[in-house]
């Protein structure tokens, strides 16, 4: 499921590039970690571009670290 307007073809190319960049010693968990990080970054960027953001101070206050 694409998290941005990225086409399936583009996602496939990005995934192949991600796999090529992993070290030869990488395992399945390493691959899954990289995919998860990439997905979370894309969701965050989509939220930012969609105007769904909160000031840093409000987040600190919400979690009691202000």
Q: What is the pLDDT of residue 3?
A: 46
Task: Judge whether residue 1 has pLDDT over 70.
Answer: no
- The Cβ of residue 26 has, within 10 Å, a number of other Cβ atoms equal to 13
- What is the pTM assigned to this prediction? 0.66
Q: What's the CA dihedral at 34, 6, 9, 12 to 10 degrees? A: 0
The domains of the chain are located at 24-66
Tell me the pLDDT tens digit for each residue of 49-62: 999 988 889 889 99
Beta strand spans in 1-66 (E): none
Share of the chain above pLDDT 90, in %: 67
| pLDDT level of residue 2 (50, 70, 90 thresholds) | very low
């Amino acid at each position: 499921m694409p998290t941005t307007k990225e086409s399936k073809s583009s996602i496939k190319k990005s995934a192949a590039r991600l796999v090529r960049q992993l070290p030869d010693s990488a395992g399945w968990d390493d691959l899954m970690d990289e995919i998860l990080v990439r997905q979370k970054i894309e969701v965050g960027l989509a939220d930012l571009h969609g105007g769904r953001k909160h000031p840093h101070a409000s987040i600190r206050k919400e979690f009691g670290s202000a």
